[in-house]
Amino acid sequence: MDLLLDAIVLGLLVGCFYAAVSVGLSVAFGLLDVPHIAHPAFLVLGAYGTYMLNRMGWDPILAGVALMPAFMLLGIAVYRFYYETFERRGSDAGLRGLAFFFGVVFIVEVGLVMVFGVDQRLVEAPYIGKSLAVGDMRLPLRLLVAFAMALVLTIGLSLYLSKTFTGRAIKAVAQDETALRLMGANPVRIKQWAFGIATAVTGLAGALLIIVGPVEPTIDRVYIGRTFCVVVLAGLGSMSGTLVAGIILGISESIVLTLLGASWAPAVSFGLLLVMLGIRPQGLFGR
Amino acid sequence: MKTNGYGFWIGSAVVLALACIAAATIKNEYYFFAAYIVVQFVVLATAWNILGGYAGYVNFGTSAFFGVGAYIAVMLIKWMNLPLGLQIVAAACVGGALGFAVGLLTLRLRGIFFSIATVAVTIILETAVINWRFVGGATGVQILRPPVMEPFDSYTKMLFVCAVILAIIAVAIARYIETSWIGRGLRAIRDNEEAAECTGVPTLKLKLAACAISGALMSAAGAPLAMYQSFVEPASAFNLTYSVSALAMPIIGGTSHWIGPVIGALLLGTVQQVVTVTISSELNVLVVGVLLVVFVVGAPQGIVGLFVKLREKIKGKNI
Amino acid sequence: MTEWSFDVQTMTEPLLKITSVTKRFGGFTALDGVNLAVAQGERFGLIGPNGSGKTTLINCISGALRNEGGSIQFSGEEVSKLPAYQRTRRGIARSFQIPRPFTSMTVLENLLVPLEFVAHRNSLLRPDTRAEAMEILQSISLADKAGTPSNQLSQVELRKMELARAMAARPRLLISDEAMAGLSGNEIDEVLGILFKLNETGITIIMIEHIMQAVMRFSQRVVCLDAGKIICEGTPTTIVANADVQRAYLGA
């Protein structure tokens, strides 16, 4: 029983972290409808960026924040490119857009392998390696830090989308592009900005990724499952849903881990994703 | 780009004859070892194109089907030592069923969900095999090759000829689909699914059929892997690089004509073999990724499209 | 004259009978208990302001959407549970408000899809579908574009191709969804002419249109939808004079 309680608490912490690594995708795929299968690869890119800055003595979270402007620009550039080459030309955009991002995944992976090698990489910080005793439980401090940051990130983005003018415009563009165009706003520019924000958030989330555990160039593959699982589970584009979905995934994974062992872990998110697609593709909170 | 029916079969016969002659005359086994991989990719790329190229549903899970084929073969060898031909047939059946099941689950949804689902199936199957002792778990399983059959003098050569036969079958199926009403229906689905449905195309049925046929061919291509390597492990049998290659080859060659995947597989497959041997296997994945992106952006109709354009230009000048 | 024919037609079994059809999107009721009957051979107009549910209604008829409540009967058979392609095979064809050509195909090939999947799907012999497609194209004077890729057509040519593709499914009921939007006066006349000609061959036609003159000239009977409900039904002259219709359109 204690084991199960442990699993649930750990799952809750990890789940918020999963939400944080997925919010970027929730905007890019859920709201903007970009088949961004390279999202996890960008996440890993953020983790390696953090690793580099950490080697220069930066705190990983600070490093993640510092990466955000660069990632923002990257996101804007990627969306602009995607728009010009696929979205604007219309037909076949689905097939070719997907193939494009799939190609990007492998380019990023191999690029990282060539620069950093296949070995696992870690960051150093005062809160990594220590743990906090709560009752009988020992909670790793790095998880708690990631948990807190994840909450800030997810709630922050959610507030940005619902409270600010630009945020609302982003949500509007997802619902009715033509109406927005009639109102005189430029949907492409809004989408470009939104994709930039999503990518910037992903950069910071990448820092959390390497705080939570060691990172290797192909770790993005597991996160294809985790991030898409969270986004689909939440219902496309639902920010509050993302947090709940992340926690559901986190707890499920941690229970499976406890009961069946670590070798089954990768199948949990993908399995949950498949089940959702089969029975309720609109997600838990979708219409 | 019309190909006359007889021309195709004569061409196939010539290819098969050449493969047999090569097997009989060339001594260096390494060539067959490398050529087998290239031909195997002709099967995978052609199979991918049946659903991906014609109907526009992007399968990221070629490696799932390929790996299932390889492990079906492993199971049949371990259980009752069935011959290669039966392994391939059984793998095709299971692959077809898997394609049908995945399709049934997600082909009603938008294309990207199908794509994501195929990645999911890959990882789930890999995880299941890793946790399955009978087939060796994560460390893999060693396979003893039976003695080679007459008239071949080496197992690799036999597998090579077998792969060539598989490739001809795959291309013939793809070609039949492409030139028949099925192909027209699939293309209508790719262009506009709702309009296709409203002009009488049973879209779900056609997609399911394409997905099952494509999956069957992919699994068939995976079955000989066990014998080819004498060793199968989940990490290599379910490797996502099969997925990206099988997707990149038709896109580079051109998805609208059956010859596209063949050209793409022969070209990219050969380049991959050369790069893997001379430089590194990492770089070979990078080459695939970069070429995929370059073609998808710069030449969406692939090499076939470039060729058609060139021909039109020359024609235009003549007139 | 038109009023007469309407009375006579309703005596027989209607070709399309819609009974209390309802469709919701989330909390929004797009169709609220719609009843309709369209007679064999009728020219039927469906009007209503934007967002009134016209397109939802024909999506429910053609099978692109499933209605939640009520029944849709086509020549006596309940079709509301059938997938769209089955309905097309039973004789319901449509064109789209925004044309949806099969862009990778030529104009002729666009017509081959319904010819192969509907008209000749059970033929054992290989009928000359190309000649048949050509014939249809000639009948609407689009034959010179037969070999043109369908993504290179002008607006009016696209509209005509949509109608030709619907005709190739050999329908008994043709639903024309704003086939005249964005066309010039002459072009509207041309498309109207095609629809009249089709109707003369016995095809029942439902026309959804914003261009009032066209609907009024074409239809024998008109129904006006507003907020998912039928607010008025009658001959073009009575509809134009109807106070509810004027209110719905002018928002007064």
The DSSP annotation for chain A comes to -HHHHHHHHHHHHHHHHHHHHHHHHIIIIIIT----TTHHHHHHHHHHHHHHHHHTT--HHHHHHHHHHHHHHHHHHHHHHHIIIIITT-TTHHHHHHHHHHHHHHHHHHHHHHHH-SS-B----TTSS-EEEETTEEEEHHHHHHHHHHHHHHHHHHHHHHHSHHHHHHHHHHH-HHHHHHTT--HHHHHHHHHHHHHHHHHHHHHHHHHHS-B-GGGHHHHHHHHHHHHHHH-TT-HHHHHHHHHHHHHHHHHHHHHH-GGGHHHHHHHHHHHHHHH-TT-SS--
The pLDDT score that the predictor gives to residue A93 is 67
> Residue B47 pLDDT > 70, yes or no?
yes
Query: Do A200 and A74 meet the contact criterion of CB atoms below 8 Å apart?
Result: no
Q: Shortest Cα distance from A32 to chain B (angstroms)? A: 14
With contacts defined as CB-CB under 8 Å, which chain C residues touch A95?
none
Give partners of A (≥3 CB pairs < 8 A): B, C
Calculate mean pLDDT across residues B43-59.
94
Q: Shortest Cα distance from B304 to chain A (angstroms)? A: 16
> Residue A280 pLDDT > 50, yes or no?
yes
- Encoded amino acid at C112, one letter: L
A287–C151 C-beta distance less than 8 A = no
Kindly report the CA angle at C131 between C126 and C137, in degrees rounded to 5?
A: 140
First to last CA, chain C: 33
Which of C26, C103, C104 has its CB closest to that of A287? C26
Task: Please write the tens of the pLDDT for every residue from A127-144.
Answer: 887 888 877 778 888 888
The answer to whether the bond into C101 is cis (omega within 30° of 0) is no
Query: Do C204 and C38 meet the contact criterion of CB atoms below 8 Å apart?
Result: yes
Strands A137-140 vs A131-134: parallel, antiparallel or unpaired: antiparallel
Which of C64, C88, C105 has its CB closest to that of B200? C88
| pLDDT level of residue A112 (50, 70, 90 thresholds) | very high
User: Which of A13, A88, A1, A28 lies closest to A251, judged by CA?
Assistant: A13
> Which residues 6+ apart lie within 8 Å of B311 measured at CB?
none
B190–C105 C-beta distance less than 8 A = no
pLDDT cut 90: percent of chain C above it: 41
Determine the residue of chain B that is closest to A217 in CA distance: B282
Calculate mean pLDDT across residues B183-208.
93
> Residue C59 pLDDT > 70, yes or no?
yes
Rounded to whole angstroms, the Cα distance separating B214 from B170 reads 9
Tokens of A122: 């870690």
Distance between alpha carbon A235 and the CA centroid of its chain, in Å? 15
- Look up the CATH number of domain A2-279: 1.10.3470
C22 forms bridges with which residues in the sheet? C69
Q: What are phi and psi of C108, to 5 degrees?
A: -60, -45
The pLDDT score that the predictor gives to residue B79 is 85
B190–A37 C-beta distance less than 8 A = no
* Residue B86 vs residues B90, B233, C37: alpha-carbon distances, Å: 6, 21, 60
| pLDDT level of residue A230 (50, 70, 90 thresholds) | very high
With contacts defined as CB-CB under 8 Å, which chain C residues touch A287?
25-26
Q: How many CA atoms lie within 13 A of A87 on its CB side?
A: 16
User: Which of A216, A249, A202 lies closest to A18, judged by CA?
Assistant: A249
> Which residues 6+ apart lie within 8 Å of B192 measured at CB?
C100, C101, C102, C103
Assess B106–C contact: CB distance below 8 Å, yes or no. no
| pLDDT level of residue B185 (50, 70, 90 thresholds) | very high
Calculate mean pLDDT across residues A110-135.
86
The pLDDT score that the predictor gives to residue C2 is 41
Assess A98–B contact: CB distance below 8 Å, yes or no. yes
Q: Which residues of C150-181 are buried (b: 16+ CB within 10 A; e: fewer)?
A: beebeebbbbbbbbbbbbbbbbbbbbbbbbbb
With contacts defined as CB-CB under 8 Å, which chain C residues touch A91?
103-104, 151
> Residue C7 pLDDT > 60, yes or no?
no
One-character DSSP codes across chain B:
----HHHHHHHHHHHHHHHHHHHHH---HHHHHHHHHHHHHHHHHHHHHHHHHHH-PPP--HHHHHHHHHHHHHHHHHHH---HHHHHHHHHHHHHHHHHHHHHHHTTS-HHHHHHHHHHHHHHHHHHHHT-GGGTGGG-EE-PPPPPPTT-SSHHHHHHHHHHHHHHHHHHHHHHHHHSHHHHHHHHHHH-HHHHHHTT--HHHHHHHHHHHHHHHHHHHHTTHHHHHSEE-HHHHT-HHHHHHHHHHHHHH-SSSTHHHHHHHHHHHHHHHHHHHHT-HHHHHHHHHHHHHHHHHH-TTHHHHHHHHHHHHHHHHH-
Calculate mean pLDDT across residues A38-42.
95
Tokens of A99: 């193939």
The pLDDT score that the predictor gives to residue B25 is 86
**Where is mean pLDDT largest: B5-9, B92-96, C206-210?**
B92-96
The pLDDT score that the predictor gives to residue C87 is 94
- Put simply, the chain A residues between 84 and 103 with a CB less than 8 A from any chain C CB are 91
The pLDDT score that the predictor gives to residue B124 is 93
The pLDDT score that the predictor gives to residue B65 is 96
Calculate mean pLDDT across residues C30-58.
89
> Residue A243 pLDDT > 50, yes or no?
yes
Q: Where are chain A's structural domains?
A: 2-279
C26–A91 C-beta distance less than 8 A = no
User: Which of A84, C104, A81, A99 lies closest to B305, judged by CA?
Assistant: C104
The pLDDT score that the predictor gives to residue B276 is 83
> Residue C246 pLDDT > 90, yes or no?
no
Tally of domains in chain B: 1
Tokens of B284: 């070979």
Strands C16-25 vs C69-74: parallel, antiparallel or unpaired: antiparallel
Which has the minimum average pLDDT: A90-104, A148-162, B236-250? A90-104
ipTM of the complex, rounded to two decimals: 0.88
User: Which of C193, C250, C241, C201 lies closest to C217, judged by CA?
Assistant: C193
The mean predicted confidence, pLDDT, of chain A is 88
> Residue C9 pLDDT > 50, yes or no?
no
Task: Please write the tens of the pLDDT for every residue from C148-186.
Answer: 898 888 888 999 999 999 999 999 999 998 888 888 888
Query: Do B191 and B207 meet the contact criterion of CB atoms below 8 Å apart?
Result: no
Rg for chain C (alpha carbons), in Å? 18
Q: Shortest Cα distance from B197 to chain C (angstroms)? A: 5
- Put simply, the chain B residues between 256 and 275 with a CB less than 8 A from any chain C CB are 256
| pLDDT level of residue A286 (50, 70, 90 thresholds) | low
The pLDDT score that the predictor gives to residue A92 is 65
| CATH number of B122's domain | 1.10.3470
Domains of chain C: 2-102+154-250 (3.40.50.300)
A132 forms bridges with which residues in the sheet? A139
* Residue A157 vs residues A152, A163, A243, C23, C204: alpha-carbon distances, Å: 8, 10, 12, 35, 54
- Cα torsion through C201, C202, C204, C205, rounded to 10: 20
Rounded to whole angstroms, the Cα distance separating A115 from A105 reads 16
The mean predicted confidence, pLDDT, of chain B is 90
Kindly report the CA angle at B248 between B245 and B249, in degrees rounded to 5?
A: 85
pLDDT cut 70: percent of chain B above it: 98
With contacts defined as CB-CB under 8 Å, which chain C residues touch B196?
102, 113
- Angle of helix B259-278 relative to helix B240-253, nearest 10 degrees, comes to 130
Expressed as residue numbers, the domain containing B174 is 5-318
Q: Shortest Cα distance from C151 to chain A (angstroms)? A: 10
Q: What are phi and psi of A278, to 5 degrees?
A: -75, -40
Rounded to whole angstroms, the Cα distance separating C113 from C119 reads 10
- Put simply, the chain B residues between 177 and 216 with a CB less than 8 A from any chain C CB are 181, 184-185, 187-188, 190-192, 194-204
- Cα torsion through B233, B236, B238, B242, rounded to 10: -150
Number of other residues whose CB lies within 10 A of the CB of residue B301 = 18
- Put simply, the chain A residues between 215 and 274 with a CB less than 8 A from any chain B CB are 221-222, 224-225, 228, 232, 263-264, 266-267, 270-271, 273-274
Q: Shortest Cα distance from A77 to chain C (angstroms)? A: 29
Rounded to two decimals, the pTM is: 0.90
The pLDDT score that the predictor gives to residue A179 is 66
* Residue A111 vs residues A10, A56, A106, A114, A115: alpha-carbon distances, Å: 33, 21, 8, 5, 6
